[in-house]
């Protein structure tokens, strides 16, 4: 659980901390443990838990000794996320980037060791990078993975890279943790992240990352290697500009 800021309202912070505790422990929790972790008297803590229970956010099990969240908070969070104005506006922003670059553009988020395509706007050129919403790719093979890794704290990123199965897909696939860490560092210094033939020969990608709903997303332009490399500076600047614009919209 994070440290409170001076502007936090105590009662609101404690409710947030309760759900953070469940997320951390991933199991039912008794009143005594909640009270200890929140450094709150049991009577006050019980009042919070009973309020959440009466409103349908918690239920009791193990003869009423332990509490655990219901799906209500998940369902409401999903509805909120699906109607987020920034996430909803990403479609038009990605179309704009497609028009600017002439190449396929996609939005991806990290799921464990994978990058997950959540939106795709394909180029209308006959020779183009083709992808579908819902596709998943290993983090080490493209610009999307580099972006999503770059968004992580340094120690967490390095630990995750060391865990990855760096399968070789093409001659240019990065198969060394040290080289992947170097590629991420070079992308950060460059201002955009670049992969050339990491998944298949003849395909390159350029990307950057933004934060939406507290989660990092990669915005990536992909296409035939020759076109991407010939226009790297223009594409990189366009991606960086869009990432900056999305950040300012938050």
| Beta-carbon contacts of residue 169 (< 8 Å; ≥ 6 apart) | 138, 141, 198, 199, 200
Q: Is the dihedral of CA 191, 130, 98, 213 positive or negative?
A: negative
pLDDT of residue 82: 75
Tokens of 129: 């990078």
pLDDT of residue 157: 97
User: Once rounded to an integer, what is the mean pLDDT over residues 98-104?
Assistant: 97
Structural domains for the chain: 10-74 (1.10.10.10), 84-249 (3.30.450.40)
Question: Rg of the chain's alpha carbons, rounded to an integer?
Answer: 22
Q: Can you name the residues that pair with 217 across neighbouring β-strands?
A: 109, 210
| Beta-carbon contacts of residue 168 (< 8 Å; ≥ 6 apart) | 175
Residue range 35-62, pLDDT digits in tens: 999 999 999 999 999 999 999 999 999 8
Closest CA relative to residue 172, chosen from 140, 135, 145, 206: 140
Residue range 171-213, pLDDT digits in tens: 999 999 999 999 999 999 999 999 999 998 899 999 999 998 7
pLDDT of residue 7: 45
| Beta-carbon contacts of residue 3 (< 8 Å; ≥ 6 apart) | none
Distance from the first to the final alpha carbon of the chain: 24
User: Once rounded to an integer, what is the mean pLDDT over residues 97-103?
Assistant: 97
Q: Is 178 helix (H, G, I), strand (E, B) or coil?
A: helix
Distance CA 150, CA 152 (A): 5
Q: At what angle do helices 143-150 and 154-163 cross, to 10 degrees?
A: 140
Distance CA 6, CA 17 (A): 15
Classify each residue of 240-249 as buried b or exposed e, where b means 16 or more C-beta atoms within 10 Å of its C-beta: bebbeebeee
């Amino acid at each position: 659980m994070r440290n409170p800021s001076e502007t936090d309202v105590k009662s609101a912070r404690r409710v947030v901390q309760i759900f953070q505790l469940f997320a951390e422990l991933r199991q039912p929790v008794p009143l005594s443990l909640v009270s200890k972790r929140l450094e709150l008297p049991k009577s006050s803590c019980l009042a919070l838990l009973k309020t959440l229970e009466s409103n349908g956010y918690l239920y009791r099990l193990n003869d009423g000794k332990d509490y655990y969240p219901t799906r209500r908070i998940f369902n409401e969070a999903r509805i909120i996320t699906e109607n987020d104005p920034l996430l909803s506006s990403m479609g038009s922003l990605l179309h704009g980037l497609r028009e600017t670059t002439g190449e396929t553009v996609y939005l991806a988020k990290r799921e464990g060791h994978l990058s997950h395509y959540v939106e795709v706007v394909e180029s209308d050129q006959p020779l183009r990078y083709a992808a579908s919403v819902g596709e998943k790719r290993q983090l080490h093979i493209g610009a999307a993975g580099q972006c999503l890794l770059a968004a992580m704290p340094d120690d967490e990123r390095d630990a995750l890279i060391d865990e990855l199965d760096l399968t070789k897909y093409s001659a240019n696939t990065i198969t060394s943790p040290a080289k992947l860490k170097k590629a991420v560092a070079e992308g950060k210094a460059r201002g955009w992240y670049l992969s050339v033939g990491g998944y298949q020969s003849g395909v390159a990608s350029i990307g950057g990352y933004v934060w939406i709903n507290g989660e990092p997303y990669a915005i990536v332009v992909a296409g035939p290697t020759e076109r991407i490399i010939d226009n790297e500076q223009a594409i990189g600047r366009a991606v960086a500009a869009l990432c900056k614009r999305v950040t300012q919209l938050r």
